[in-house]
């Protein structure tokens, strides 16, 4: 018999952010209090098949070795294969993990889980839809446009003309449904636009074109449900021209200002907008909200929201909470408690109908 809460970590997944998920899950596993939690590790391979593993700290060879299931086996005749848990903690970045799909599976199975519900997850993953909601809320977002692959293939010259009539280099091209700076290009000349579009369309059928804001990159962490709170903001100081995948996860040359050196009124406004963005999506649990602070004007621009932010050793989400007074183990404990509370509330609501 044990009084430990059984927590199932899900990591890996089918998205281009598979490797980032492995790093995040390893950090979460390392910081979960083993005296309070019994941890069940569930690895999802790039083909979307599932298996129990010893932990996220296993080598890639160990993760891939063994029998996989095509669907999550909530009940199993062999206890060693069961994935039953008290709460599920998806540490899955990008499509098929952060986009409402796994959250929908949890809802169907009627099990508690950490993080945002289906709608908020789906909207947060789709940057185009999220920006539309932010704009409707009156939040300051950079100028942007949305381009579908079918339109690009059908009328490429018209698409290029529309972009060039709207944006002056430098501007950014990115997939609408991805993160970790995968597929993003900084376009510094009109001649480079076509290549940037092709790069983004490798990852999604819908892409965003966004004006380039010259200034500082600021991030803020949010935690909670009905009365969420925002951390102190932090600053990302990229080694490259912008905070791309290599800069984030491979080279490790990025510097961070934690907390960011900002005037008190700017800090206050960033935290306010972060909470507004969280509320606009009806999010819950956790999110990291990213901003630009324009050079010379100090105008604040809301860039995007991430409902399953990174938890790697360099990730801002836990670092910002630590500098705000909440250490990594306590942060994970609160996220688990919020997930259990959300599930209990949901069940009460359903019982009244």
- Rg value, the chain, Cα: 20
* Percent of residues, the chain, with pLDDT higher than 70: 91
Confidence of residue 221 (pLDDT cuts 50, 70, 90): very high
Res. 242: pLDDT tops 90: no
Determine the CATH number of domain 5-113.
3.40.50.20
Q: Is there a contact between 31 and 330 (Cβ–Cβ < 8 Å)?
A: no
The residue behind tokens 């941890």 is 39
* CATH class of the domain whose range is 144-211: alpha beta
Tokens linked to 102: 């796994």
- The residue ranges of every structural domain in the chain are 5-113, 124-140+214-339, 144-211
- What's the fold here for domain 124-140+214-339? D-amino Acid Aminotransferase; Chain A, domain 1 (3.30.470)
The SS3 assignment for 257 reads: strand
The SS3 assignment for 292 reads: strand
From 239, 233, 231, select the one nearest 255 (Cα to Cα): 239
The string of DSSP codes covering 97-158 is TSSSHHHHHHHHHT--BSS--HHHHHHHH-HHHHHHHHHHTT-----EEEEEHHHHHH-HHH
Rounded to an integer, the average pLDDT of 128-147 is 96
CA dihedral 261, 262, 264, 269 (to 10 degrees): -130
| Entry pTM | 0.89
Least confident of 90-99, 133-142, 180-189, 340-349: 180-189
Q: Whole-angstrom Cα distance, residue 69 to residue 112? A: 21
Helix (H) or strand (E) holding 54: none
- Structure confidence at residue 243 (pLDDT): 46
Q: Whole-angstrom Cα distance, residue 234 to residue 286? A: 16
Q: What residues are paired with 219 via a beta bridge?
A: 234, 290
Confidence of residue 162 (pLDDT cuts 50, 70, 90): very high
- Structure confidence at residue 348 (pLDDT): 83
CA 330 to each of CA 5, 33, 135, 305, 321: distance values in angstroms, whole numbers, following the listed order: 15, 9, 34, 23, 10
Strand duo 144-148 + 87-91: pairing? unpaired
CA dihedral 118, 124, 125, 128 (to 10 degrees): 130
């Amino acid at each position: 018999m044990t009084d430990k809460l059984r927590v199932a970590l899900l990591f890996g997944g089918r998205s281009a952010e598979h490797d980032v998920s492995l790093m995040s899950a390893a950090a979460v596993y390392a910081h979960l209090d083993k005296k309070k939690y019994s941890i069940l590790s569930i690895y999802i391979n790039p083909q979307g098949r599932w298996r129990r593993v010893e932990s996220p700290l296993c080598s890639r060879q160990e993760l891939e070795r063994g029998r996989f299931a095509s669907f999550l086996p909530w009940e199993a005749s062999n206890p060693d294969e069961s994935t039953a848990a008290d709460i599920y903690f998806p540490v899955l970045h990008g499509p098929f993990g952060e986009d409402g799909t796994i959250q929908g599976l949890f809802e169907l199975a009627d099990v508690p889980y950490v993080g945002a519900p289906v709608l908020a997850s789906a909207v947060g993953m789709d940057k185009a839809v999220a920006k539309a909601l932010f704009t409707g809320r009156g939040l300051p977002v950079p100028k942007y446009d949305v381009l579908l692959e079918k339109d690009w293939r059908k009328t490429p010259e018209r698409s290029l003309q529309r972009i060039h009539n709207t944006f002056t280099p430098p501007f950014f091209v990115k997939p609408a449904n991805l993160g970790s700076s995968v597929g993003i290009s900084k376009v510094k000349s009109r001649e480079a636009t076509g290549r940037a579009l092709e790069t983004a369309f490798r990852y999604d059928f819908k892409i965003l074109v966004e004006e380039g804001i010259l200034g500082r990159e600021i991030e803020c962490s949010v935690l909670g449900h009905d009365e969420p709170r925002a951390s102190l903001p932090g600053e990302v100081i990229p080694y490259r021209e912008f905070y791309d995948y290599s800069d984030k996860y491979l080279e490790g040359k990025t510097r961070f200002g934690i907390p960011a050196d900002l005037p008190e009124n700017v800090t206050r406004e960033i935290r306010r907008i972060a909470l507004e963005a969280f509320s606009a999506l009806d999010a819950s649990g956790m999110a990291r909200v990213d901003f630009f602070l324009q050079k010379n004007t100090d105008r604040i621009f809301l860039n995007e929201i991430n409902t399953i932010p990174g938890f790697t050793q360099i990730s801002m989400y836990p670092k910002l909470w630590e500098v705000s007074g909440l250490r990594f183990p306590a942060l994970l404990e609160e996220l688990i408690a919020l997930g259990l509370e959300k599930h209990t509330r949901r069940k009460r609501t359903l019982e009244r109908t």
